[in-house]
Amino acid sequence: MPLLEIQDLTKHFFRFSALRMVSLGVEPGELLGIIGPNGSGKTTLFHCVTGVLRPSGGQVRFKGEDITGLTADKVYRRGIARTFQLIQIFPEMTVLENMLMAAQERTGTLLGRLCRREKAEETDRAMRRLEFLGIASLKDTPGSNLSYGQQKLLDFGMALMPEPEVILLDEPLAGVNPTMITNLVGHILELNGRGQTFVVIEHNMEVVMSLCRRIIVLSEGERIAEGTPAEVADNPLVLDAYFGR
Amino acid sequence: MTGTRRTVLAAALVVCVLAPLAFEQYKLYVASLTLVYLVLAIGLNLTLGYAGQISLGHAAFMAFGAYAVAILGQRGLPFELGLGLGGALAFGWGLVVGFPALKVKHHYLAMVTLGFNIIVFLVLRNWEGLTGGSFGISGVARPAWGPISFASDRAYYLYILGWAAVVVASAYWILSSRWGRAFRAIRENEMRAAVVGVSLRAYKVMAFAIGAAYAGIGGALFAPLLGYIDPGAFTLDRSIQFLMMVVMGGLGRFEGPFIGAVVVTVLPEILRASEGLYLIIYALAVMLMMLFMPKGLVGLWDRAVTRLGRARVMPGTR
């Protein structure tokens, strides 16, 4: 059974259809790529899965449970974390606070979060993640003072913090310098090697083709192709979507 | 909290405790009023400064506390019962008013809370049987614990100081907990907060309700200060005054309400020496402060610290 299953997902913005009957499944431990030209509905798909947007139709199932239309916080607590195309961190919080914030709501009750103080092991876990990403020395720096690449790493680190079952990465390499790309790809591959499931939206074809074993292509809100990187690269529908006839 | 902040707060507390020993009656009244406003400003700072939910209805929440102690006091019930009931009523109405915050933001939310303030004002003015209408309620009794009476101005000052300490400590406890961090997360990036599991519904409503409860407590302490209340004390003007305290002190900074309450309460009193000009000077001073100190007076302190070459303060409750 797929870990994450999307069935006929549709999203309309008034008369405009951003997603039309998109279906896909993500297996445990998979590193699935989603590509497509600008405006093809990739980010809208992530928004609908993670509760940022409410789908107009279709179904999202996670570990067999219907999570369609749940609010973002409820989706997160079930074990789906994500990053954003346009970096979304807490700019006035320090790097360490951003990391702790990303994990504090995963378990426990609302009242428990008022009464329970931070445990040393939680801070240690955040520090280990920051060391893994190479930004531990910036732990006391406000998020807004980081460079773009460092913010991308922090955004990625925040997605790792709650130890989710699936991480959705929305263009994690966009605007990142080549050295940082190598670092990030290395981190993704290492975590995936340990069994972490990823779904990656990426425009960097070279990277996405080398990173993912299976790729799904969206165009104008519809799923137009699926296959291995080689199959997708040779698919005339994909070439048509990217380059036109 | 850093060592410097702890020292500053401790020094401020000591000055507050010693003040009534030296002040004459009117100055003692201003000091007492400042403490009452501090309680109210701490509540608004939690709602607006930390959680980013604007409220122009804080005076209405204050009214619940003020009228609760006045009405129950008329019936011979203890002051603390009125204070508790007022705080609870304000908390309850805070939950109700907090719900629109889930749907509307910024100036739209300001309009909702402003409307609430006007409704409460009209109810207070027209429900004469309970509130005394436009005539208000006079002879609001000060608290007494058996033989210990807080009727004198000095004793009542110390009573207010005790409650202010409780409010400061509880606000610090809340804001340094995970709730405080979640409030700041909502203020800084609402969508990201939701995606890392922050229940916007629960936290926004709680931010409103807790801020309102503090206002209720502040209102309860306010009523016996002059011994008389009427609906005119709980209008939009008063809500804007609280907003000024929080903004001028420094939004979302723990020290902000302390500075804001002192400046907004004491500055007009100092300027009274200029007679007819004092409101103009006061308004100009406020405009200049906002123009050159957009982060409030706390921001000025930060700048001074930075200029002195010391490490910039990155408070845990920021």
**pLDDT tier, B1 (very low <50, low <70, confident <90, very high otherwise):** low
Residue with tokens 């907004």: B264
Q: Does A106 touch chain B (CB under 8 A)?
A: yes
pLDDT of residue A48: 97
**Encoded tokens for B135:** 């005539």
> What mean pLDDT comes out for the span B243-253?
91
Q: Does A91 touch chain B (CB under 8 A)?
A: yes
Mean pLDDT of chain B: 89
Contacting residues for B43 by C-beta, under 8 A, at least 6 apart:
B58, B61, B167, B171, B210, B211, B212, B213, B214, B215, B218
Greater confidence, A203 or B198?
Answer: B198
Please tell me the distance from the alpha carbon of residue B158 to that of residue B195, in angstroms, as a whole number: 46
Share of chain B above pLDDT 70, in %: 96
pLDDT of residue B309: 63
Q: Provide the phi-psi class of A2: left if phi over 0, else alpha when psi is between -120 and 50, else beta.
A: beta
Contacting residues for B116 by C-beta, under 8 A, at least 6 apart:
B57, B60, B93, B97
- Exposed/middle/buried for residue B11 (C-beta within 10 Å: 0-12, 13-18, 19+): exposed
pLDDT digits (tens, 9 = 90+) for B294-318: 788 888 888 887 777 654 444 444 4
Helical (H) or strand (E) element with B138: strand B137-138
pLDDT digits (tens, 9 = 90+) for B70-113: 999 999 999 999 999 999 999 999 999 988 877 888 888 889 99
pLDDT of residue B102: 77
Quick check: B192 and A71 CB within 8 A? no
Q: Does A117 touch chain B (CB under 8 A)?
A: yes
**pLDDT tier, B133 (very low <50, low <70, confident <90, very high otherwise):** very high
Contacting residues for B244 by C-beta, under 8 A, at least 6 apart:
B260, B264, B286
Residue type, B209: A
pLDDT of residue A175: 80
**Which of A76, A96, A101, A168 to mutate to probe the B interface, most B CBs <10 Å?**
A101
Regions of chain A where pLDDT drops below 50:
none
pLDDT digits (tens, 9 = 90+) for B136-157: 999 999 999 999 999 999 999 9
Please tell me the distance from the alpha carbon of residue A239 to that of residue A205, in angstroms, as a whole number: 13
pLDDT of residue B216: 98
Q: Hey, is B254 helix, strand or coil?
A: coil
Number of A/B CB contacts below 8 angstroms equals 90
pLDDT of residue A245: 57
Residue by residue, what is the 3-state secondary structure of chain A? CCCEEEEEEEEEECCEEEEEEEEEEECCCCEEEEECCCCCCHHHHHHHHHCCCCCCEEEEEECCEECCCCCHHHHHHHCEEECCCCCCCCCCCEHHHHHHHHHHCCCCCHHHHHHCCCCHHHHHHHHHHHHHHCCHHHCCCEHHHCCHHHHHHHHHHHHHCCCCCEEEEECCCCCCCHHHHHHHHHHHHHHHHCCCEEEEECCCHHHHHHHCCEEEEEECCEEEEEECHHHHHHCHHHHHHHHCC
**Which of A52, A73, A138, A141 to mutate to probe the B interface, most B CBs <10 Å?**
A73
**pLDDT tier, B2 (very low <50, low <70, confident <90, very high otherwise):** low
Quick check: A115 and B192 CB within 8 A? no
Q: What is the DSSP letter of B75?
A: T
Contacting residues for A205 by C-beta, under 8 A, at least 6 apart:
A35
pLDDT digits (tens, 9 = 90+) for A134-171: 999 999 999 999 999 899 999 999 999 999 999 999 99
Residue B5, pLDDT > 80, answer: no
Mean pLDDT of chain A: 93
